[in-house]
């Protein structure tokens, strides 16, 4: 549930260095709204969250400009300056994740993708969407499945990627 703190400082520095105050941002898989808490005073932020109980529990509708409850695979949008996929891609099949990235590619200036490496996780908190479908990700496998990205932060267990 939610995103990890590891590498967030580097990601925030990269975002602030590459986007001006007031840029638009889509936070995919908003969960508890951590990205809004970190960047909501800097960016104009909308959110996509699939799990309705998180929207209510964390009151994310009180944070973001707009909150859309749906699977990102079915969400259509024209443009955001930045799209954040914070701990999202591992929750969908590689094929679905590729389609989501391909859809976003020309609809944003850049995207930040955060993924854990080789992290098995089942459903949590009665939320079936918490299950990791790509629990085999490694740096090499990420680059093979999702070409066109470079890491801005990377450790043995976690990474942040942006367009190369």
Six-digit token pair at 10?
């580097």
DSSP 3-state percent helix, strand, coil across the chain (nearest 5): 35, 25, 40
pLDDT for 131: 64
Please state the pTM of the whole predicted model.
0.92
Mean pLDDT of the chain: 92
Rg (CA), the chain: 14
pLDDT at residue number 23: 98
Q: Where are the alpha helices (DSSP H) in 34-155?
A: 34-39, 52-57, 94-105, 139-145
- Strand intervals (E) in 6-146: 24-28, 44-48, 66-68, 80-86, 108-116
Class of domain 8-163: alpha beta
Quick one: pLDDT band at residue 89, thresholds 50, 70, 90?
very high
Compute the average pLDDT of residues 29-44.
96
Mean local confidence (pLDDT), 43-62 = 95
Q: Is the pLDDT of residue 121 over 90?
A: no
- Structure confidence at residue 118 (pLDDT): 66
pLDDT of residue 132: 66
pLDDT score recorded for residue 119? 65
Work out the pLDDT band at 1, boundaries 50, 70, 90.
very low
């Amino acid at each position: 549930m939610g995103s990890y703190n590891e590498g967030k400082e580097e990601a925030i520095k990269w975002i602030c260095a590459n986007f001006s105050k007031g840029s638009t941002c889509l936070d995919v898989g908003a969960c508890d709204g951590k990205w809004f808490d970190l960047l909501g005073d800097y960016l104009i932020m909308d959110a996509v969250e699939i799990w309705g109980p998180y929207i209510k529990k964390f009151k994310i509708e009180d944070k973001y400009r707009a909150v859309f409850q749906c699977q990102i695979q079915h969400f259509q949008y024209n443009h955001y300056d930045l799209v954040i996929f914070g701990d999202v891609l591992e929750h969908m099949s590689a094929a679905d994740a590729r389609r989501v990235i391909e859809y976003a590619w020309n609809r944003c200036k850049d995207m930040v993708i955060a993924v854990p490496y080789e992290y098995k996780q089942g459903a949590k908190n009665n939320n079936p969407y918490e299950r990791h479908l790509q629990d085999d990700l490694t740096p090499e496998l990420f680059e093979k499945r999702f070409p066109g990205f470079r890491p801005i932060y990377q450790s043995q267990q976690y990474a942040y990627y942006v367009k190369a």
